[in-house]
Chains A and B, each alone.
Chain A
Amino acid sequence: MRRFLSLAAVVAIAATASATTMRRYSLEEVRDHAEAVFVGKVVSSTVRPVMNGQLVATDYSIEVSDVLSGEVPAITTVTFLGGKDAHYDVAIPGSPALEAGRSYLFFRTKQPNNTTVGWGQGLYRIEKVKTAGAEQTVLISGDGELLRMSHGTLVRGEAVTVRDGALVKIASSDSQAGDARDTNGVAFNADGTPARRVGPATAVAAEAPGTAATLEDVRIFVRSRQ
């Protein structure tokens, strides 16, 4: 505990950020690694020390409204490293921070980790957006990627956010002019004769105009688990 107090004394005025190396799961792996998949609203949170007092974690109390798989009580918890309250202030940006009163879709790991699979990869914020006068519920991962359907398959989309009720692509505040491919390459054989460039074996299918995935799409996806 002394060590934690030592840390707390520091982080009370200077909290911690971190980033993480973990598996980049496929959506199928996120599903298959989850012990439970459910929708719920954050009702409260509690911060506590972990790792012998060298870090803190936040237990979020979740009011469950929909269980897609697994056994989940009406009130359950999900835990993420980091947290902030009157005593502790340790933020870990790679570790999601949930907002009280907001609803999320959780792909929760087994105990004792009690977190979401791949952190932001197994956590989806449920948002309502308006487009052309219509309202739709969309799912945005903890990593900021829109969950969408393409060719009948659930896929990760681009990083987005919701601004004034509309879904917008996240653009960088930095210069993102792009880094174009050099197309002046010339191919040749060992004897100096031109080497033959080969065209695509099959035409690459154009990216279909995707649809934002719904909770029902996810339900079907979860039930398709082998």
Chain B
Amino acid sequence: MKKLLFVLLIAGSAFAQRTESCTCGIPGQVPTPWEIRHVDPVAQQAAVNAFNTWNLYADILAPQVGSSVTYDLGNGHNEILFRDFSTVPGLDPSTVGFAPSLPNGAFGNFNQCPVPFGTSCGVFSEADVWLSADIDWHVTRPNVDDPRDAAYYYSTAIHEIGHTLGMHHNFKNLSTMNYYQDYAGQFVSRADVLALRRQFPSRAKSVSDLATYPFRYDETVQTGSFGNNALKPATFSPTQVSAGGSITIKNWTIENLGTAAVTSARLRFFLSTDANITTSDIYIGGFKWEPLTSWSDDPDGTAFQIPAGTPAGQYYLGAIVGSGDNLALDGITYNNSWYLPTKLTVGGSPSAVCTPTANRVCLNSNRYAVELKYRTPDGAQNSATAIKYTENSALYWFSGPDNIEMVVKVLNACGLNSHYWVYGAAATDLQFDLTVTDTKSGKVKTYSHAAGTPAGAITDQATFDTCP
């Protein structure tokens, strides 16, 4: 059979295109009163949280727990409740929720944005949210790597409540009105908020809200499986690196959901030993936008250098979004940070592996490299000759082996204060720099002494904190 070129059928169609979220139909009363019919207090609170997520951006919903009337579709009350979906003729068995609303036609007869030209939309006299009573709902926030089938109440409730506000499905953009997996579905996106402000201009709030997500929408991919193949998770590579090396991070997203451009937006990446990403973690770099008006992402990746002093270990990679160089957070915090489930392994810098030379000793089972450089009165810099005296201590001389200038020791004090200690004593008034490197963690410390002054003792119990 002869096939016609699709490009001829739809002249000018561009696949690399995002679709804005859209509305058709609007509640008759705003703020809209809602009755939460869940019995379980945890589910009740989850429902309240879902309603209030939309209220972050517009004053439109007024939820309350309980109801004074018998449930019926058509009783004039807006209600959220669980129903048995298991054997309903005409209902796809994978359905977990839907949002019936009255009257017919108010919602428009189409299933996804954009709104077809000429569509008639109306005012809802009632809207309900029906959620399946047949599945094991999760009311706690999923981890980013949770199985896709984990039914997160919050994500589904936000989605269905969105329908009762008139919002339609949006399969071709970041949107809670998509069928993304639960982790992504929990975020009301920029596309959603823009539609919400168009829908309720007089109820919209003036807010500042920068959001970041560990995924991006790939507009070049229009086919979709559950969660949509167009949703690309954030990644980094390689997963093992030496301190001083670099990793490439890609597929994150930053969005401005606020009502104004952010003059100085920052996205910063951190390495953390736990899943709680804070600005106290190890900062490895980031992005800045001056200003950030809409959104951005990074499909190709950017290589960031792991700081040379990063202790060896395994880390979560995370990100925090904020404004200004002090990374000030906005008031809407649930979308300010993320972490990835895959851990990054940081090893010691290969260049710092301790190999003894005439000027370098390797102490504590060849873990610590210790070198001493000095400057003569004429300004010439030289390396002191090293003598490994014991497993943990060394001697150095400048002009001859019969004239010891300095003694240094590196002690394992992990049992005392979880540190290695560096002690030293010099018998010279020349300028010198003593450099100690932990080849396991990559951490380096240089102890300097100025010329012409008495050399004080080195008693460092705080620098080398990688134990053992």
On whether the two chains bind one another, the answer is yes
Residues of B within 8 A of A149 (CB): 3
A169 touching B300 by the CB < 8 A rule? no
A156 to B222, CA, bound (A): 7
Residues of A within 8 A of B226 (CB): 23-26, 29
**Residue from A23, A82, A156, A196 in contact with B94 in the complex, judged by beta carbons closer than 8 Å:** A23
Q: Is A61 at the interface (CB under 8 A from chain B)?
A: no
A182 touching B295 by the CB < 8 A rule? yes
Q: Is B191 at the interface (CB under 8 A from chain A)?
A: yes
CB proximity of B445 to chain A, nearest CB, Å = 17
A181 touching B297 by the CB < 8 A rule? yes
Q: Is B318 at the interface (CB under 8 A from chain A)?
A: no
Q: Which residue of A lies closest to B19 (CB)?
A: A176
Residues of A within 8 A of B115 (CB): 172-174
Mark contacts of A94-108 with chain B using CB atoms, 8 A cut-off: 1 yes-contact digit, 0 otherwise. Answer: 110100000000000
A184-200 with Cβ < 8 A to chain B: 184-191, 193, 195-200
A9 to B302, CA, bound (A): 62
Q: Which residue of B lies closest to A78 (CB)?
A: B90
Instruction: Report if A204-B73 is in contact (Cβ < 8 Å); known contacts: A51-B83, A115-B91.
Output: no
Q: Which residue of B lies closest to A54 (CB)?
A: B73
Residues of A within 8 A of B290 (CB): 184
**Residue from B22, B109, B119, B302 in contact with A187 in the complex, judged by beta carbons closer than 8 Å:** B302
A136 touching B4 by the CB < 8 A rule? yes
A112 touching B87 by the CB < 8 A rule? yes
Binds A, one of B100-108, B368-376, B433-441: B100-108
Mark contacts of B206-240 with chain A using CB atoms, 8 A cut-off: 1 yes-contact digit, 0 otherwise. Answer: 00000000000000101111111100000000000
Binds B, one of A36-44, A68-76, A140-148: A140-148
Number of A-B contacts (CB under 8 A): 328
B89 touching A112 by the CB < 8 A rule? yes
Residues of B within 8 A of A59 (CB): 89
**Residue from B2, B5, B168, B298 in contact with A209 in the complex, judged by beta carbons closer than 8 Å:** B5
Residues of A within 8 A of B18 (CB): 178-179
Q: Is A160 at the interface (CB under 8 A from chain B)?
A: yes
B88 touching A144 by the CB < 8 A rule? no
B156 touching A21 by the CB < 8 A rule? yes
CB proximity of B172 to chain A, nearest CB, Å = 8
**Residue from A26, A57, A176, A210 in contact with B225 in the complex, judged by beta carbons closer than 8 Å:** A26
How many of chain A's residues have a CB under 8 angstroms from any CB in B?
112
Residues of B within 8 A of A158 (CB): 10, 13, 15, 222
B3 touching A109 by the CB < 8 A rule? no
A10 to B288, CA, bound (A): 56
**Residue from A19, A114, A138, A181 in contact with B98 in the complex, judged by beta carbons closer than 8 Å:** A19
Instruction: Report if A14-B222 is in contact (Cβ < 8 Å); known contacts: A51-B83, A117-B92.
Output: no
B72 touching A195 by the CB < 8 A rule? no
Q: Which residue of A lies closest to B296 (CB)?
A: A182
**Residue from A18, A20, A201, A207 in contact with B101 in the complex, judged by beta carbons closer than 8 Å:** A18
Q: Is A139 at the interface (CB under 8 A from chain B)?
A: no
B302 touching A144 by the CB < 8 A rule? no
Instruction: Report if A197-B9 is in contact (Cβ < 8 Å); known contacts: A20-B95, A113-B91.
Output: no
Instruction: Report if A171-B295 is in contact (Cβ < 8 Å); known contacts: A14-B104, A14-B125, A211-B5.
Output: no
B101 touching A176 by the CB < 8 A rule? no
A29 touching B4 by the CB < 8 A rule? no
B92 touching A115 by the CB < 8 A rule? yes
CB proximity of A24 to chain B, nearest CB, Å = 3
CB proximity of B261 to chain A, nearest CB, Å = 9
A24 touching B73 by the CB < 8 A rule? no
Residues of B within 8 A of A20 (CB): 92, 95, 97-99
Instruction: Report if A131-B220 is in contact (Cβ < 8 Å); known contacts: A6-B74, A174-B198.
Output: no
A18 to B223, CA, bound (A): 25
Residues of B within 8 A of A55 (CB): 73, 88, 100
CB proximity of A29 to chain B, nearest CB, Å = 6
B224 touching A198 by the CB < 8 A rule? no
Residues of B within 8 A of A67 (CB): none
B105 touching A50 by the CB < 8 A rule? no
Q: Is A126 at the interface (CB under 8 A from chain B)?
A: no
B2 touching A144 by the CB < 8 A rule? no
B387-436 with Cβ < 8 A to chain A: none
**Residue from B3, B178, B307 in contact with A212 in the complex, judged by beta carbons closer than 8 Å:** B3
Residues of A within 8 A of B93 (CB): 109, 113
B130-170 with Cβ < 8 A to chain A: 156, 159-160, 163, 168-169
Closest 9 CB pairs of A and B: A15-B104, A172-B114, A10-B74, A24-B179, A26-B225, A17-B107, A14-B103, A57-B90, A18-B100
| A residues neighboring B (CB under 8 Å) | 3, 6-7, 9-11, 13-29, 50-51, 54-55, 57-59, 79-82, 84, 89-95, 97, 109, 112-120, 129, 131-132, 134, 136, 138, 142-144, 146, 148-149, 155-161, 166-174, 176, 178-191, 193, 195-201, 204, 207, 209-212, 214, 216
Q: A120-B111, A172-B22 are in contact. List 19 more A-B contacts (CB 8 A).
A: A17-B25, A19-B98, A25-B225, A50-B90, A92-B100, A131-B4, A132-B8, A134-B2, A159-B114, A166-B9, A171-B114, A185-B288, A191-B305, A198-B301, A198-B302, A207-B16, A207-B220, A209-B5, A211-B6
